[in-house]
Amino acid sequence: MRNEFCGQVTEKYLDQQVEVCGWVGNRRDHGGVIFIDLRDHTGLVQVVVEPDNEAAFKIADGARYEYCLRVKGMVRNRPDGQGNSKLATGQIEVVVDEYHVLNPSKPLPFMLDENPGENVRLQYRYLDLRRDNMQHNMRLRSKLTHALRNHLHQSEFLDIETPILTKATPEGARDFLVPSRMNPGQFYAMPQSPQLFKQLLMMSGMDRYYQIARCFRDEDLRADRQPEFTQLDIEMAFVEQEDVLQMAEKLIRDTFKEVMDIELANPFPRMTYAEAMRRYGSDKPDLRIDLELVDVADAVKDSEFKVFSAPANDPKGRVAVLKVPQGGANFTRKQIDEYEPYARRFGARGLAWIKVNDKAAGKDGLQSPIVKFLSDDALAGILSSTQAEDGDLLFFGAGKFNEVTQFMGALRIKVGQDIGRVSDTWEPLWVVDFPMFEFNEDEKRWDALHHPFTAPTGSVEALQNNPGEALSKGYDMVLNGVELGGGSIRIHDQKMQSSVLELLGISEQQAEEKFGFLLEALQFGCPPHGGIAFGVDRMATLMCGEESIREVIAFPKTSSGACPLTNAPSTIEAAQLADVHVQVIEPEKDD
């Protein structure tokens, strides 16, 4: 139906006939001559319908916004002074010989140069995807996945599909469940990841595996989460941690170069989990922000100010400072007070602060409601530890280590953004040496920080004797404060795997029910193996400069997990539910 795309009809086609298809972006009637901006995914071309072509002119006279057209015509130069240097097609126009309306359009619910609410955009996603920004995002995403595949194929990885209907296994989030018609009362689970299957593939001698896999998690949503998402899943046999890190780093460096022409650091810097939490309050620190947290427990541990001294003397406590440099002391009291409710959202009980107006004047040069509670020695220690200078503002966090680390880390990001301390760079990072477990205070048991199949750095005996101090062979790749991917060396020893499951409170019977096939497979000459999985949605979001992964997914869900386009999820007729042996119990409604 066409021999060229709209955005590619340039001067090289002068005095030649072209056939193009697209949508009406704009229509103008100038003195009996109709001008139409015809648009497809490559751009637009100006189409001219002259009155002497009566048949075409009559049809074009009724053309409206987003009509779908096919035109055939001769390419000529635009008249002098009417060119558009901003367009690749801006020096030419197509004079119509034949004009066909492939499909008219009724008035759109929104103009494509508008930005309506998210629900409207998703309800009419097929229209939203016509917009230039969404066209760019989806095409860049396609280029991204193509580059990833090419790199892995050239590195002799096998593209192998794993099941979508599988067994429910505890991997950290709720499963989406699928009832089985042929097995009454039994359910499949949608995979949260292909984790166990890719480990089995390493046991099968496949050696190097990858898959661009669909994954499903029934959890609360936010900007970087969807109930279904895409990840690049990779696994390698006969490797140690360094092998995986080198492979993954080269993959991402080459991909960013090919897709974005961006040179990432070589090598990526590395940081332990403990250092990342101490300095940045996050296991995915954004290194574009040059602010850091500083511990001042030693300076305040002898203070009579119990808000500081109590956590300073608690082995599980923390007193940390975030210094706001270069004019932070110029913040108004209103500006400072606005940070407290923000910090409370992340677990803070309050947010103390000190303005450093004149460091040389000692206590008299400091401004804060808490200065009167701190000794001269404590204040001097704080100023020394933070290397504070005149004009700086100090924010304090005090309490349990994890709580302080969390809200001060969030505050660091917020302040850094507010004062313009986010550099225009790409800052990759490996975070390594994760703890093997974290203690669940609510349920009084250990949880796996990554997942139950991550290998510890020590022996079975060391793990059992001191699980709280055990480190794992887990690693995360972080880019600009986003966890781009995470992985680990896996447990390939059956005794170690059983010990980890036992520490997680999974009984021998439960382990056999949930993971019996894995535990058995580990006994048949399982090789050492490890891998990593990258969030394709997150990677595309970063490359496109978007804030939400919904902007790089063709048909995403809303924050409540709904699809306004198809009205999913929806109720199912009783007869269809009966086929799969399911009965719906409506939740009780509060009077």
pLDDT at 172: 65
What pLDDT score was predicted for residue 109?
96
Has 333 been labeled as part of a binding site? Answer: no
Domain-located, residue 328: yes
Pairing of strands 529-535, 228-237: antiparallel
Ligand-binding site membership of 537 (annotated): yes
116 within domain boundaries: no
* Residue 321 lies in domain: 289-422
Of 389, 422, 455, the domain-final residue: 422
On whether both 139 and 266 belong to a single domain, the answer is: yes
Question: Exposure string (b/e) for 308-323, b if CB count within 10 Å is 16 or more?
Answer: bbbbbeeeebbbbbbb
In this structure, is residue 113 part of a structural domain? no
CB 266 within 8 A of CB 281: no
* 261 in the same domain as 141: yes
Whether 211 has a binding-site annotation, put simply, is no
Residues 245 and 144 both lie in one domain: yes
Q: Is 477 within the bounds of a domain?
A: yes
Q: Clarify whether residues 307 and 390 are in a common domain.
A: yes
Quick one: pLDDT at residue 223?
60
Count of structural domains within the chain: 3
Closest Cα partner for 66 from 44, 49, 50?
A: 44
**Helix 132-154 and helix 536-544: axis angle, to 10°?**
130
**Is 490 annotated as contributing to ligand binding?**
yes
Task: For residue 148, tell me if it sits in a domain.
Answer: yes
Flag whether 535 is marked binding. yes
Asked if the structure places residue 110 within a domain, the reply is no
CATH number of the domain that residue 340 is part of:
3.30.1360.30
Q: Are residues 154 and 218 in the same domain?
A: yes
Quote the CA–CA distance of 507 and 495 in Å, as a whole number.
Answer: 14
Asked whether residue 562 is assigned to any structural domain, the reply reads no
β-strand pairing of 270-272 with 428-432: parallel
Residues 153 and 182 in one domain: yes
pLDDT for res 591: 66
Are the beta carbons of 192 and 173 closer than 8 angstroms?
Answer: yes
Q: Is 538 annotated as a binding residue?
A: yes
Q: 416 and 340 in one domain?
A: yes
Long-range contacts of 556-559 (CB under 8 A, 24+ apart): 556/122, 556/226, 557/221, 557/226, 557/227, 557/228, 558/118, 558/119, 558/122, 558/221, 559/221, 559/222
Q: Say if residue 153 carries a ligand binding annotation.
A: no
Residue 218 annotated as binding site: yes
CATH number at residue 60: 2.40.50.140
CA 500/CA 460 separation, integer angstroms = 9
Q: Is residue 579 part of a domain?
A: no
Contact 84, 93 (CB under 8 A): no
Residue 106: DSSP 8-state: P
In this structure, the answer to whether residues 140 and 261 fall within a common structural domain is: yes
Considering the domain architecture, whether residues 327 and 372 belong to the same structural domain is answered as: yes
Confirm if 378 and 307 have CB atoms less than 8 A apart: no
* Final residue of a structural domain among 370, 392, 422: 422
Task: Tell whether pTM > 0.85.
Answer: yes
| pLDDT digit string (tens) for the chain, length 591 residues | 999 999 999 999 999 999 999 999 999 998 789 999 999 999 999 999 999 999 999 999 999 999 999 999 999 999 999 999 999 999 999 999 999 999 999 999 999 999 899 999 999 999 999 999 999 999 999 999 999 999 999 999 999 999 999 998 766 678 999 999 999 999 999 999 999 999 999 999 999 999 999 999 998 766 668 999 999 999 999 999 999 999 999 999 999 999 999 999 999 999 999 999 999 999 999 999 999 999 999 999 999 999 999 999 999 999 999 999 988 999 999 999 999 999 999 999 999 999 999 999 999 999 999 999 999 999 999 999 999 999 999 999 999 999 999 999 999 999 999 999 999 999 999 999 999 999 888 888 898 888 899 999 999 999 999 999 999 999 999 999 999 999 999 999 999 999 999 999 888 998 998 899 999 999 999 999 999 999 999 999 999 999 999 999 999 999 889 999 999 999 999 999 999 999 998 888 776
- What is the spatial distance between Cα 427 and Cα 412, in angstroms, rounded to a whole number? 17
Q: Same domain, yes or no, for 310 and 410?
A: yes
185 in a known ligand binding site:
no
Question: Are 341 and 318 within one domain?
Answer: yes
Compute φ and ψ for 14, nearest 5 degrees. -55, 135
Long-range CB pairs of 75-82 (<8 Å, 24+ gap) are: 75/9, 75/13, 75/14, 75/15, 75/16, 75/17, 75/18, 76/14, 76/15, 77/11, 77/14, 78/46
Domain boundary, last residue among 52, 86, 103:
103
Residues 75 and 91 in one domain: yes
User: Concatenated DSSP letters for 312-331?
Assistant: HTSTTEEEEEEEETTTGGG-
| The pair of three-digit structure tokens given for residue 271, joined into one six-digit string | 């940081």
Q: Has 219 been labeled as part of a binding site?
A: yes
